[in-house]
């Protein structure tokens, strides 16, 4: 044998031996032997539903330890760890599971291993009573660099019983090359029109969405829901943030601690009214003012014995004597009267204060208000300006979880006399300043249709029917007369109604089983239709057994069915972006399957109203649940709009949740407002994307969708590039004669974590760029949303 041949054969044998060696296990502490206190180092517990008991028992399958999960009533929970992986590779996840009387419930699977959030990356489930059983699954990753491994108990539902996990392994099997991008458009294959209602928005009485976002009132607890005491400690959550949550009176006593009494004798509004003894006052801090800007307000005041008195109201923006303006008020004899005041701030600060003091005589303060003078019907001018640019065609209100404990009657009548309440679903006070009439006024100001959600939690059919009559009944009907007395003789003519919110969720006030809820759904809709048979009713669905049950037993009591979804942050830009269209498609696939399986849907066209959709993750920067959005989230929202276009035959409407603050498209500070990155995408597509989707095929990681304008004189193409590299994408367009000129818009940046802040210069914006009208290739920036438009020839 020649020496060279011997060398080749030897190398081949060696390589073969290397191939037979076990791959490297990427899981640290895979057998749980390394302890950190009473748990394995590098592992954490997660609970998504029910109650789970986590254990760290001895012995394990190998060695001294394993991990365990048990539940009697049912749980969806896991021991979890995060591992670093190479993108564009194939992996094997494996491990050993032991079970004792494990039983899936509520759609759960049992005991298994999975990769969190990666569809298809789940092992077979182990149920019943089994000794140590090996399970495995192979899967591919795209651009993810981190994966969460779950030792999962339940899974897409819940499980009962007990399970143990040991010897978890994640092994890399194969490396792949990133796929090359390509776009092919057949403009002659036109789908159903994309409903303009997919650009809908959702506002809820949660956090700073209404109060602090849309509504211009600057004062917290202006109706004194919380008693004013000498123990000034107003903030009970998010204390060390810019927007802490008020959980006690935000009014600080100025002067003698015993100089303020909360009297329950004939209160102006609510349960009590503050009585200020002569020489005493109350002050609210942490107000935002801008130098040179005017602020207007008023107070309802009286002397407790109906005598005359004198009050002093001061807006202060600094410590010096000159850093304030004061208005003297002569309080006339008799009952409560409304006294206006006006200030011009001399400094820009978020530490201003408003103080009212009883100078001569005692003083009852019924309620007090302070707003920027440029408010529009009580709404923030800066927020409204952005909302008009957003141009959403429809708004959903008032909830959300809030609605299941909300009595709409609290939000009508004299605004200053409406009762303050505890927010039934979230934190803080519901002032009831923004009620039904204000919502209708808001919709008119931004040029949108209203959609009202009725309370099917603690509410009943009669209350829902009364609400429909108040909105749509003639002025000579019982509730129509009430509406006319409150300043609106003409009916509001509200067409769209949500029947409850997330009534499938046990967190919902008034939650009940599906068997009971279907009866309530039909009862409520029957009573609403007795008042107005023309209304469009949207049932409260959740893809799975709940939506199936509603479609089977309530299909004649709905025109559409609601679905919700939220996505969290995910490792890898493309994977993070892809969550949104994947969730939309999953909802659509479920309902397509229902159309083929359920005889009750024959001849019916019950479409999906995606009444809440968005990302939801990260710290609360803008108050209660006030998350911040990044450039990478904008890419996902654009890809979601593409998916709505692809599913246009099944999607009736979609409502981005929420509009302002919280998880909104617009964020406000005390003094300014700005578009989030996600809001920029919604605005761009609302104004520029086409209405007639056409067949669009893509390769690689990009997401793209084309659409004609309704008159077919303009073809638009949206492209999402979820990579950190610029891409020159081969492009083929069939079935259209296009002019070699057009327009191009771009939202882009080199950092997926770029964000906008209302108090800082914009980092992310819509750019209009030159475009040569090329139809054979297109170049897109890294981490970008690109929208191009050609004129038809």
Q: What angle do the packed helices 381-390 and 677-688 form, to 10 degrees?
A: 50
Strands lying side by side in the sheet with 363-372: 260-263, 273-276, 363-372, 294-302, 337-344
DSSP structure class, residue 753? T
CA distance 722 to 698: 13
In the structure encoding, which two tokens stand for residue 259, read together? 């100089």
Q: What is the mean pLDDT of residues 610-621?
A: 96
Residues 565-599 pLDDT 10s: 999 998 889 999 999 999 999 999 999 999 999 99
Give the pLDDT confidence score for residue 118 in this predicted structure: 87
- CATH 2.60.40.1180 domain span(s) along the chain: 182-194+697-792
CA distance 238 to 247: 11
Residue 258 has pLDDT above 90, yes or no: yes
**DSSP characters over 702-751:** -EEEEEE-TTSSEEEEEEEE-SSS-EEEEEEEES--EEEEEEEEEEE-S-
Q: What is the mean pLDDT of residues 523-541?
A: 99
- CATH 2.60.120.260 domain span(s) along the chain: 35-175, 235-372
Tally Cβ neighbours within 10 Å of residue 102.
27
Q: Where are the alpha helices (DSSP H) in 61-129?
A: none
Give the pLDDT confidence score for residue 22 in this predicted structure: 54
Structural element, H or E, at residue 644: helix 631-646
In the structure encoding, which two tokens stand for residue 776, read together? 């054979």
The count of C-alpha atoms lying within 13 angstroms of the C-alpha of 453, restricted to the half-sphere facing its C-beta, is 31
Task: Map tokens 């529009």 to a residue.
Answer: 376
Q: How does residue 364 score in pLDDT terms, banded at 50, 70 and 90?
A: very high
CA distance 738 to 227: 69
Residue 310 has pLDDT above 70, yes or no: yes
Measuring CA to CA, how many Å separate 379 from each of 205, 390, 508?
15, 16, 30
Q: How does residue 106 score in pLDDT terms, banded at 50, 70 and 90?
A: confident
Give the pLDDT confidence score for residue 178 in this predicted structure: 85
Q: What is the mean pLDDT of residues 57-77?
A: 96
- Judge if the upstream peptide bond of residue 593 is cis by omega within 30 degrees of 0: no
Residue 493 has pLDDT above 80, yes or no: yes
**DSSP characters over 671-682:** S-EEE-HHHHHH
Give the pLDDT confidence score for residue 107 in this predicted structure: 87
Measuring CA to CA, how many Å separate 578 from each of 168, 727, 749, 783, 788?
28, 18, 19, 13, 21
- Is residue 573 within 8 Å of 784, Cβ to Cβ? no
CA distance 465 to 470: 9
Residue 6 has pLDDT above 90, yes or no: no
Q: What is the mean pLDDT of residues 635-652?
A: 99
**529: phi then psi, degrees, rounded to nearest 5:** -70, -25
Give the pLDDT confidence score for residue 3 in this predicted structure: 39
Give the pLDDT confidence score for residue 49 in this predicted structure: 86
Could you say which of 2.60.120.260, 1.20.1090.10, 2.30.40.10, 1.10.10.10 is the CATH number of the domain covering 35-175? 2.60.120.260
Q: Which CATH architecture has domain 182-194+697-792?
A: Sandwich (2.60)
Give the pLDDT confidence score for residue 144 in this predicted structure: 84
User: Between 125 and 23, where is the model more confident?
Assistant: 125
In the structure encoding, which two tokens stand for residue 577, read together? 């972006």
- CATH code linked to domain 198-208+377-689: 3.20.20.80
**33: phi then psi, degrees, rounded to nearest 5:** -80, -25
Residue 683 has pLDDT above 90, yes or no: yes
CA distance 18 to 295: 77
Residues 139-187 pLDDT 10s: 999 888 889 999 999 998 999 999 999 999 999 999 998 889 999 999 9
Residue 4 has pLDDT above 60, yes or no: no
- CATH 3.20.20.80 domain span(s) along the chain: 198-208+377-689
- Judge if the upstream peptide bond of residue 259 is cis by omega within 30 degrees of 0: no
Give the pLDDT confidence score for residue 143 in this predicted structure: 81
Residues 731-753 pLDDT 10s: 999 999 999 889 999 999 999 99
Rounded to the nearest angstrom, the gap between the alpha carbon of residue 551 and the centroid of all alpha carbons in its chain is 26
pTM of the model: 0.89
Residue 338 has pLDDT above 60, yes or no: yes
Measuring CA to CA, how many Å separate 657 from each of 130, 397, 445, 503, 712?
45, 11, 20, 18, 31
Rounded to the nearest angstrom, the gap between the alpha carbon of residue 352 and the centroid of all alpha carbons in its chain is 31
**DSSP characters over 689-710:** S-SEEEEEEEESS-EEEEEE-T
Give the pLDDT confidence score for residue 361 in this predicted structure: 97
**611: phi then psi, degrees, rounded to nearest 5:** -75, -10
CA distance 635 to 489: 45
CATH superfamily of 235-372: Galactose-binding domain-like (2.60.120.260)
CA distance 437 to 435: 6
Q: How does residue 709 score in pLDDT terms, banded at 50, 70 and 90?
A: very high
């Amino acid at each position: 044998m020649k020496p060279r041949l011997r060398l080749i054969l030897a190398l081949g044998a060696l390589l073969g031996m290397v191939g037979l060696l076990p791959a490297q296990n990427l899981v640290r502490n895979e057998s749980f032997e390394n302890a950190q206190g009473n748990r394995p180092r590098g592992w954490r517990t997660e609970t998504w539903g029910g109650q789970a008991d986590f254990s760290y028992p001895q012995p394990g399958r190998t060695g001294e330890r394993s991990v365990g999960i048990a539940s009697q009533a049912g749980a969806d929970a896991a021991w979890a760890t995060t591992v670093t992986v190479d993108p564009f590779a194939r992996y094997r996840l494996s491990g050993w599971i032991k079970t004792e009387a494990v039983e899936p419930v509520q759609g759960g699977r049992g005991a298994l291993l999975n990769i969190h959030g990666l569809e298809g990356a789940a092992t077979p489930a182990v149920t019943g009573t089994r000794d140590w059983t090996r399970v495995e699954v192979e899967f591919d990753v795209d651009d993810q660099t981190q994966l969460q491994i779950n030792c999962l108990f339940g899974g897409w539902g819940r499980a009962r019983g007990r399970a143990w996990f040991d010897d978890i392994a994640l092994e890399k099997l194969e490396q792949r090359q990133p796929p090359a991008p390509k776009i092919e458009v057949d403009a002659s294959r036109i789908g159903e029109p994309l409903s303009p209602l997919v650009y809908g928005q959702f506002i809820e009485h949660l956090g700073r969405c209404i109060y602090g976002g849309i509504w211009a009132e600057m004062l917290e607890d202006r109706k004194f829901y919380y008693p004013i005491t000498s123990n000034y400690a107003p903030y009970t959550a998010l204390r060390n943030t810019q927007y802490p949550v008020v959980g006690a009176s935000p009014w600080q006593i100025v002067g003698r601690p015993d100089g303020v009494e909360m009297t329950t004798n004939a209160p102006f509004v609510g349960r009590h009214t503050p009585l200020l003894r002569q020489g005493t006052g109350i002050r609210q801090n942490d107000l935002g003012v801008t130098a040179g800007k005017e602020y207007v307000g008023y107070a309802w005041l009286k002397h407790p014995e109906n005598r005359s008195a004198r009050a002093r109201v001061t807006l202060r923006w600094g410590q010096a004597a000159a850093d304030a303006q004061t208005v003297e008020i002569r309080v006339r004899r008799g009952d409560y009267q409304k006294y206006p005041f006006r200030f011009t701030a001399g400094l820009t600060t978020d530490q201003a204060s408003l103080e009212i003091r009883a100078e001569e005589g005692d003083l009852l303060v019924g309620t007090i208000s302070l707003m920027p003078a440029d408010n529009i019907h009580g709404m923030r001018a800066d927020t409204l300006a952005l909302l008009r640019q957003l141009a959403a065609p429809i708004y959903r209100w008032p909830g959300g979880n809030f609605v299941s404990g909300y009595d709409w009657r609290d939000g009508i009548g004299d605004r200053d006399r409406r009762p303050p309440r505890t927010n039934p679903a979230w934190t803080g006070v519901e002032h009831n300043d923004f009620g039904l009439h204000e919502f209708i006024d808001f919709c008119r100001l931004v040029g949108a249709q209203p959609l009202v959600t009725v309370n099917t939690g603690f509410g009943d059919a009669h209350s829902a029917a009364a609400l429909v009559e108040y909105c749509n009944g003639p002025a000579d009907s019982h509730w129509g007369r009430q509406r006319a007395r409150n300043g609106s003789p003409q009916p509001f003519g509200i067409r769209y109604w949500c029947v409850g919110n997330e009534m499938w969720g046990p967190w919902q006030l008034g939650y009940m089983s599906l068997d009971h809820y279907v009866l309530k759904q039909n009862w409520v809709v029957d009573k609403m239709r007795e008042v107005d048979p023309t209304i469009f009713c949207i049932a409260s669905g959740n893809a799975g057994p709940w939506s199936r049950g509603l479609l089977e037993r309530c299909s004649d009591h709905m025109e559409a069915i609601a679905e919700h979804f939220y996505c969290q942050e995910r490792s890898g830009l493309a994977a993070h972006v892809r969550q949104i269209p994947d969730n939309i498609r999953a909802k659509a696939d479920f309902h397509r399957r229902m159309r083929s399986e359920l005889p009750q849907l024959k001849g019916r066209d019950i479409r999906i109203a995606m009444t809440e959709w968005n990302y939801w993750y990260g710290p609360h920067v803008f108050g209660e649940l006030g998350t911040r959005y990044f450039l990478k989230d904008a890419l996902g929202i654009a890809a979601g709009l593409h998916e709505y276009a692809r599913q246009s035959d099944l999607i009736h409407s979609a409502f981005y949740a929420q509009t302002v603050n919280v998880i909104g498209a617009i964020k406000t500070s005390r003094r300014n407002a700005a578009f989030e990155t996600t809001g920029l995408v919604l605005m761009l597509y609302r104004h520029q994307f086409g209405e007639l989707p056409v067949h669009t095929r893509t390769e690689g990681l990009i997401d793209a969708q084309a659409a004609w304008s309704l008159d077919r004189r303009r073809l638009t193409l949206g492209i999402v590039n979820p990579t950190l590299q610029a891409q020159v994408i081969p492009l083929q367009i069939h079935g259209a004669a296009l002019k070699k000129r057009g327009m191009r818009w771009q939202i882009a940046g080199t950092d997926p974590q770029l964000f906008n802040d209302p108090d800082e210069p914009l980092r992310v914006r819509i750019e209009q760029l030159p475009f040569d009208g090329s139809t054979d290739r297109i170049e897109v920036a890294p981490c970008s949303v690109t929208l191009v438009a050609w004129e038809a020839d």
